[in-house]
Every structure is written in C-alpha cells, then in structure tokens.
Structure 1
Amino acid sequence: MRQHLRRICLLLAVASSFCMSSALAADADHGADLAKRWCASCHVVANGQATASADVPSFASVARKPDFSPERLAFFLLDPHPKMPNFPLSRTEAGDIAAYIGSLR
C-alpha cells in the first residue's frame, strides 16, 4: 500500500512539474513583438532592421555572448542599467524578450 501511494505521489509531482513548466515557458514570438515595439529604437532587434543606435549591441550579438543566459538576461531586464529607459516590464515580458534574444543564437 505504501509503495502504491509513493508512486501516486511521485506521478502527481512529475505531472504538476510538467504542467507548471509548460505554463511558465517563455514565448519568444511575443518577445519579438515586444522587442520591435520597445527596443528597436536603440537596438537592432531583427534582421532587416535599417536603423538603431551605434552605441548599443544588437540582440544577435547579445545572444552570441559565451556567457549568455536567458534567465540572467530576464533578471537584468527587470532592473535595467541607467542607460536603458525604464520600461515597466512584467516578469513574463522580460522572460519573453530574453527567450526571443536566445532564439537568435
């Protein structure tokens, strides 16, 4: 009986973990839309973009950095450095933008 109960608990834990990670998965397509709306005035955010500031890295160059991590980038976007405008990003939006940048690798 105990072994059966343990299996059920393990199955429920795995299933809930899978559902939570799927529900919380970042949306790179939404991140691309946000980047084009909020970031493209300074950064090159997509191929074919004609203008951007020369003083900031393109999203593709950010993605190619050897220490790139979507999680770290999302955290950074929630508390940007002083040179960046203060965009009120939600955690989901920051994760989506970071996922988009990660997709450019």
Structure 2
Amino acid sequence: MHQHLRRICLLLAVTSSVGTSSALAADADHGADLAKRWCASCHIVANGQTQASADVPSFASVAHRPNFSPERLAFFLLDPHPKMPNFPLSRTEAGDIAAYIASLR
C-alpha cells in the first residue's frame, strides 16, 4: 500500500509540474544537455551518437511509441525501473528530459 501511495503522490507532483500548460514551459534544450550527460552512456540520445547499450531503446524510438506521453515519461524518470541508475532528478529536470524526447517526434 505504501508503494502505491508513493506512486500516486509522484504522479500528482509530475502532472502538476509537467501538465499540459507546464509541458510547454519545459526546457527541451536543457533536457538535451542532461540526456547527453546522464543518459548517453546507455541510450542513443541524439543523431550522430554511435555507441550505446544494445538492450535499451534510443530516445527517438521512445518518442515514436504510439502511447508516448511526456507526462508519463517524466513520472517514470522520477521512479525508474531497476535497470536504470537512480539519478536524483528534480521534477523540472525530468520534465525537461521528457520535453527533449518529445521534441524528437
């Protein structure tokens, strides 16, 4: 139950900070900088990048998923799955990375 409550609180926090009007205010350029610094060792985050882990999706492939949502992605980044390193992202940083990935559509 505690984990479920934590996820609900995270979802509310993300949707309030990365909601429809706030998503437009997210800084995709800052998200690109963060992605190149923190994510490029595993994911292909930009055109021209030639090396990454074979078993993780590129950011472009994430952006082109039919169910892609910047809000859901930002939420995911705040509570990553076990294979992802636990980066101490703020809500703003998660929103910026999600906005960057959305810009790749």
TM over 0.5: yes
Provide the rounded CA distance (Å) in 2 between the counterparts of 1:26 and 1:53: 27
Amino acid at match of 1:77: L
The runs of 5 or more residues in structure 2 that have no matched partner are: 1-20
Q: Report SS of the residue matched to 1:48.
A: coil
1:80 CA displacement? 0.1
Name 2:77's counterpart in structure 1.
77
Deviation digits for residues 42-87 of structure 1 (CA, Å, limit 9, x no counterpart): 0000000010000000000000000000000000000000000000
Q: Report SS of the residue matched to 1:80.
A: coil
1:1-105 aligned at under 5 Å gives the runs: 21=21, 25-105=25-105
- What count of residue pairs does the alignment treat as equivalent? 84
After the TM superposition, which segments of 4 or more aligned residues of structure 1 sit over 2 Å from their partners?
none
Question: TM-score normalised to the size of structure 1?
Answer: 0.78
Q: CA RMSD in A?
A: 1.2
Question: TM-score normalised to the size of structure 2?
Answer: 0.78
Provide the rounded CA distance (Å) in 1 between the counterparts of 2:47 and 2:29: 15
Identical aligned residues as a percent: 92
The runs of 5 or more residues in structure 1 that have no matched partner are: 1-20
Q: For the pair shown, which has the larger CA radius of gyration, 1 or 2?
A: 1
